[in-house]
Amino acid sequence: MFLLRPYERATRAFERWIARSGSCPLRIKLVVMTYSSSPSYSSESGSGRIHNAQKDTLRAFVRSLARQSYRWLVADISVPGCFMQSLLANEAPMLKKLTLSDPLVEPGSDMSYTWEHTFALSAAPALSTLVLKQRLRIIPITAHPITSVQFDAFSSSQIVDLFSGCPMLEELGISFRREILILDGPDIWTFPRMHTLRISLHHSNSRIETSAILDRLRLPCLRTLTIDGLRQSHGLHLCTLLDRTGGGLTSLTLLNISTSHNDMFEYLHRAPNLRSLRLVDSHGFDYRCIRRLTWLPGWQTNVCPRLSELWLLRSECQMLMLDMVENMVVSRSPAGGGVSARQAHGHNTRSSTGKVDSKHHSEPSVVLDPLREFRFDGSRFQHEDLLARPRIKAAIENGLVWKR
């Protein structure tokens, strides 16, 4: 690992180290230590800029590093964007994982004014994992083995090229730093092997079109889905995606989400195998959602029978009625006093007239998995009240992990 500040003998020191390393594959982590507040830097378009006196030194060092690319096995490199093209000029036939970032770009900033380069996957035929925190356009090739990509989106063409050229992705993470309208490409992109998808939408989006990308994805093997920042989008975008997952989703994390309780019901109904539901700084999950998660033996309206982990963090918890929270937790913890669907075999649900309500009666084969972890950041009073209740105590004694 090199933590490098530009200095005159850096290249010579690196070349001496390379000479001593022989011909073995290299695992490199390089960070060019730069500060936009330093006298050596000036500001332009929001990004720091290297002083001319240091450019030659860094350029020589980057070229020296690039000449060793045939030995790269794992490379995590943070260099200013203006040197990126030189770094990627040579082939890296052994490279398995590549992480690229720019120390002059603030984390989470809009990348629309930073450097833009291209990276042809043909130069790294063995690459399986690519993490981009650079303004870099990927040029795919047919049958490339890449399976994992995490990148900051800066243009429609960048996304279309990647989606169209890498259909065998198994893991994908996209961060939208600004509004991007994707008008090109097919109506539907199918990723038959993708099991993990993470999408972060710019928190200050004034329009909702970016989230419409969810309508254009078919992910039949999706197991883990994380969406951050769907503040103003209509719920149908997420519902459409969930309809194309084959019902196999096991983990759903929603951060900075604003939705309605009806939309939340739709999400839960479309994820019958959900094991983990994490809601962080999200609005729309209210007492009606808590009531819907409460397991009522024999009812068709029951959702998520396999749910074992539930997080409600910064999600209007203080507005939830404690009796409903208790009933939900206990109903999903058989040892704590609830009743499982297996125990409910043969039970009918009767309406107020005493007749069997076949509309809500469920199949007795459904088995309820117990809730194993509940994270709830309500007020101190709420926690003290709930934790003092006998049925909650019994659930905790029988294995429920309760966290604030």
What are the phi and psi torsion angles at 28 (to 5°)? -115, 135
State how far the alpha carbon of 312 is from the alpha carbons of 48, 271, 396, in Å.
39, 18, 18
pLDDT, position 3: 52
Q: Are 250 and 221 in contact (CB under 8 A)?
A: no
Residue corresponding to tokens 């994380």: 226
pLDDT, position 356: 37
What are 121-139's pLDDT values in tens digits? 899 999 999 998 877 778 8
Q: In terms of DSSP bridges, do strands 136-139 and 117-120 run parallel, antiparallel, or are they unpaired?
A: parallel
Q: Are 181 and 210 in contact (CB under 8 A)?
A: yes
- Secondary structure in 3-state letters for the chain: CEEECCCCCHHHHHHHHHHHCCCCCEEEEEEECCCCCCCCEEEECCEEEECHHHHHHHHHHHHHHHCCHHHEEEEEEECCHHHHHHHCCCCCCCCCEEEEECCCCCCCCCCCCCCCEEEEHHHCCCCCEEEEECCEEEECCCCCCCCEEEEEECCHHHHHHHHHHCCCCCEEEEEECCCCCCCCCCCCEECCCCCEEEEECCCCCCCCHHHHHHHHEECCCCCEEEEECCCCCCCHHHHHHHHCCCCCCCEEEEECCECCHHHHHHHHHCCCCCCEEEEECCECCCHHHHHHHCCCCCECCCCCCCCCEEEEECCCHHHCCHHHHHHHHHHCCHHHCCCCCCCCCCCCCECCCCCECCCCECCCCCCCCCCCEEEECCCHHHHHHHHCCHHHHHHHHCCCEEEC
Q: Are 57 and 79 in contact (CB under 8 A)?
A: no
What's the pTM value of the predicted model, to 2 decimals?
Answer: 0.83
Exposed e or buried b per residue across 124-150, where buried means at least 16 C-beta atoms within 10 angstroms of its C-beta: bbebbbbbbbbbbbbebeeebebbbbb
Residue corresponding to tokens 């007492």: 287
Query: Taking the CA atoms of the chain, what radius of gyration do you get in angstroms?
Result: 26
What are 332-346's pLDDT values in tens digits? 986 644 444 444 333
Copy the structure tokens of residue 372: 């194993």
- In which residue ranges of the chain is pLDDT below 70? 1-8, 33-53, 105-116, 202-210, 231-236, 298, 300-301, 317-318, 334-366
pLDDT, position 209: 60
pLDDT, position 48: 47
pLDDT, position 320: 79
